A and B are shown apart, each in its own frame.
Chain A
Amino acid sequence: MEQSLPKHDCSKFVEQVFLVLDGEMSEEETNLFIQDIERCSHCLQHYNIEKELKAFLANRVERKCCSETLRVSIMQQISDLSDQESL
């Protein structure tokens, strides 16, 4: 089944892993990549680590929200500018 795949090359993993995780590869390329690394436990492990790091950053880094005061103040300033201009 896997005979059609070229020989696994670990150096390719480093080149491609972020492109795959960052959504920069086509679906087809992504599937080929996954098939390829599943044949190498070393690469598969690293892939999972990178995936987890990315998920950690996306989900666990504290997201700051702007204050209501700032939101109101900005909207007021824009509204004032807009009113002045339309006079």
Chain B
Amino acid sequence: MADHRMSIFTPVSDHRLNKQQKDVIFEREFYPLMHALYNFAFHLVYDEEAANDLVQETFLKAYRFIESYQEGTNAKAWLFKILKNAFINDYRKKSRQPSRVDFDDISGYHDTEESGPTEYVDLRQEVFSGLMGDEVTRALNELPVDFRTVILLCDIEDFSYEEIAKIIDIPIGTVRSRLHRARNILKEKLRNYAANEGYQEKR
């Protein structure tokens, strides 16, 4: 796994890019992704200023390490990985709180991460007709960050499991199980909102 982290900033060749080549990559491939990067950053930190800082840091790093980007390949995955690493460095290390705490906070999800999807949270379809977009946003916001990250990458940004695995340095099996659990938690939250708001919910 350490390899992923190393490889992101390892030059792809000895070939040095000149100013014009760098400018072209930024114009054509990187700048169009700024809104998507900001959206990802915002949903990680829920703070405009912190999201701004993360996006800025991402672009400055992208410039510094541009030799390790292979032109015309997956710019989006590359930049998202830089942003995600920046987020971990800036936030996780500060708190010294291992992210595992997030997992333990959620009762009923004690199976190990590698175990395959087994349980299934039921939800009645009628729940959706009564839900507003902001309730889904709220449920997402309340997810622990590791779960939120996989939902953002998969459902909001449409990355493949393989891309997600590379972006967050976890095996594909873990992407799968984390997504599964994230969706179960989301469904539980939505079911609770619906119940609280008086929609008929029978288990």
Asked if A pairs with B, the answer is yes
Binds B, one of A1-9, A28-36, A51-59: A51-59
Residue in B59, B122, B132, B137 whose CB lies within 8 Å of A78 = B59
Given contacts A24-B160, A64-B38, contact A77 B60 (CB under 8 A): yes
Given contacts A66-B55, A85-B19, contact A56 B131 (CB under 8 A): yes
A45 and B133 contact, CB distance less than 8 A: no
Residue in A23, A46, A54, A59 whose CB lies within 8 Å of B120 = A46
A52 and B51 contact, CB distance less than 8 A: no
B133 and A22 contact, CB distance less than 8 A: no
B interface: dominant SS:
helix
A62 and B133 contact, CB distance less than 8 A: yes
Size of interface on B: residues with Cβ below 8 Å to A: 50
B156 and A57 contact, CB distance less than 8 A: yes
| Binary CB contact string for chain B from 128 to 167 against chain A (1 if under 8 A, 0 otherwise) | 1001111011001000000000010011101011000000
Smallest CB gap from A87: residue in B: B19
Q: Is B52 an interface residue (CB 8 A)?
A: yes
Query: Shortest beta-carbon distance, B23 to chain A, in Å?
Result: 6
B38 and A75 contact, CB distance less than 8 A: no
Kindly list chain B residues whose C-beta atoms are within 8 Å of the C-beta of A19.
176
| Binary CB contact string for chain B from 101 to 143 against chain A (1 if under 8 A, 0 otherwise) | 0000000000000001110101111001001111011001000
Size of interface on A: residues with Cβ below 8 Å to B: 39
Residue in A53, A54, A71 whose CB lies within 8 Å of B34 = A71
Q: Is B199 an interface residue (CB 8 A)?
A: no
A85 to B23, CA, bound (A): 12
| Binary CB contact string for chain A from 49 to 84 against chain B (1 if under 8 A, 0 otherwise) | 110111011111111111100110111011001110
Q: Is A40 an interface residue (CB 8 A)?
A: no
A82 and B160 contact, CB distance less than 8 A: no
Q: Is A86 an interface residue (CB 8 A)?
A: yes
Query: Shortest beta-carbon distance, B180 to chain A, in Å?
Result: 6
Give the B-binding residues of A (Cβ under 8 A): 14-15, 18-19, 22-24, 45-46, 48-50, 52-54, 56-67, 70-71, 73-75, 77-78, 81-83, 85-86
Give 16 CB contacts A-B under 8 Å: A14-B117, A14-B118, A18-B117, A53-B128, A56-B131, A56-B136, A57-B151, A60-B136, A62-B137, A63-B39, A64-B35, A71-B31, A74-B34, A82-B19, A82-B63, A86-B19
Closest 8 CB pairs of A and B: A60-B133, A66-B38, A57-B155, A86-B19, A64-B42, A64-B39, A65-B35, A14-B120
